[in-house]
A and B are shown apart, each in its own frame.
Chain A
Amino acid sequence: MSYLKVAPESLAQFREIRVPFEEGVVDTLNAGDLVSLTGVIYTGRDQTHRRLMALLDEGKQLPVDLAGQLLYYVGPTPAPPGKIIGSAGPTTSYRMDSYTPRLLELGLKGTLGKGKRSQEVRDSMLLHRAVYLASIAGAGALLSRSITKADLVAFEDAGPEAMFRFEVERFPAVVINDLTGRDFYDLSSAR
């Protein structure tokens, strides 16, 4: 992607990471690391989470096996003609906090959004060895360039809240919560 070549200094230092995470990679991520994600991620925000929980309550199978996956909290704008996707930046993660531990129990390896997580989610991430990343909030037009394919997976009737499978190429993010229990927001504001 051409814009990354002209990206500012510190963001040029990001580490290339494949998603879903390869074996052992999560252990090497540190709060504050700038990463660039390439591979496949799944999306979901409020309604997708509610519906996933309903399926679990009914003992039914989820539309995708989330074990090992990275879940991106996003509700994109519709793709204009000729585009793969519209604007597609992260939404605020805390709204998913009440659902997240249950997905981590199923083996979800990471979440991607923006903003702080609850203590309960942080504890659950440590227990299940999962990480939380934030992308660039309010940069949906820029981030859409890193999405090379978007396929609907489930819950089409939820409109912008449907679940998608994204193929991403050098999608920028920052590690917020790592496996040592550190939180980059706490670290950066304490500086």
Chain B
Amino acid sequence: MKPLRIINAEEILCAVKELAISAACDLEPDILEGLVVARDRETSPLARDLLELLLLNADIASRERLPLCQDTGVSVVFISLGQEVRIHGDLNEAVQDGIRQGYLDGYLRKSVCDPLTRINTGTNTPAVIHFEMVPGSDLIIRYLPKGCGSENMSRLQMLPPSAGLEGVKDFICRSVFEAGPNPCPPLVVGVGLGGTFEKAALLAKKSLFRSLGENHWRADVAALENELLSRINLNGQGVEGMGGCNTALAVHCEIFPSHIASLPVAVNIQCHSHRHKERVL
């Protein structure tokens, strides 16, 4: 039997802390490029200028180590744990401590509170952590601080199978159109199709980690993504809801088989300040 690879919890804590600070201040290259492409194809002068200012904002944030957006999000962490890894220490605590330290030392906003009393926890914890076991000896941390201007505009519907592909498209487009300017377009529209109630939502969230605009491997799903993006960008809402042809930068769709009675669709809306980071330990 292969010996287990040991990873210390301390190493995970440090990685999460770095990810938290860097995600808040450094926009990922794929999103920067997406904004540049959007600016260059934009037809509305105001929308073009707004995109230019968003690029300027990213530049200031990175150089001055200021968060891109004051909503530094609720921390969503996906941990893929290789089966041949053994953690020395408490994995869950290491992630939570990494978030706590990152939000403190990085001067990030603590945006997490009790849902009923609305009292702030003061640390941005607890982070929402999803664990999965994978083959191999790596530990992969995927980090996404989720701003809730966009999260609040997300929707899930348990469609009847008779709704079909058209029903799916309509629901996704309606979710985006009804959100209007609220979620800070241009958006990344994450879609989870199939599975169960919770699986669809999880797929939609996971799709946001895909490199911007990279199509699904399945041709029919890729065609759906492209059609939806075109439809969404024809609606005229545009950048920040102030017009133009860039309501969305991309539509990412993940699918999973569902029950014969069911067609779940989840739409996880992501703002243009799409902060997603990955680290392999």
Contacts and interface: CB of A to CB of B under 8 A. Distances in A.
B72 interface: yes
Looking at A3, A74, A77, A79, which has the most chain B CB atoms within 10 Å of its CB? Answer: A77
A16 B173 CA distance: 38
Contacts of B183: 92
Interface string B51-91: 01110111011001111111110000000000000000000
11 contacts: A9-B49, A10-B46, A46-B118, A77-B70, A87-B70, A114-B240, A116-B181, A140-B69, A174-B242, A188-B243, A189-B241
B70 A74 contact: yes
A177 B236 CA distance: 19
A87 B69 contact: yes
Interface string A80-91: 100100111101
A59 interface: no
B8 interface: no
B238 interface: yes
B34 interface: no
Given A89-B69, A141-B68, A184 B242 contact: yes
Interface string B131-168: 00000000000000000010010000000000000000
A115 B181 contact: yes
Interface string B94-131: 00000000000001111100000010101000000000
Contacts of B149: 91-92, 114-115, 137
B273 interface: yes
B53 A145 contact: no
Interface SS majority for chain B: loop
Interface in A3-25: 3, 7-11
B72 to A, nearest CB: 6
Interface in B259-280: 271-273
B105 to A, nearest CB: 10
Given A78-B109, A115-B241, A137-B271, 5 more contacts: A75-B70, A75-B71, A80-B65, A116-B181, A140-B70
A94 B182 CA distance: 8
Contacts of A75: 70-71, 109, 111
Contacts of B236: 188-191
A189 B243 contact: yes
Interface of A: 3, 7-11, 34, 46-47, 50, 74-80, 83, 86-89, 91-92, 94, 114-116, 134, 136-142, 144-145, 158-161, 174, 184-185, 188-191
B48 interface: yes
Interface of B: 44-46, 48-50, 52-54, 56-58, 60-61, 64-72, 107-111, 118, 120, 122, 149, 152, 180-184, 235-238, 240-243, 271-273
B120 A138 contact: no
Contact of A11 (B49, B108, B118, B243): B49
Contacts of A7: 49, 53
B118 A189 contact: no
B69 to A, nearest CB: 5
Given A138-B184, A140-B68, A160 B110 contact: yes
Query: Which of B60, B70, B273 gathers most chain A CB within 10 Å?
Result: B70
Contact of A86 (B58, B66, B237): B66
Contacts of A138: 54, 57, 68-69, 184, 271-273
Contacts of B69: 87, 89, 138-141
A25 to B, nearest CB: 22
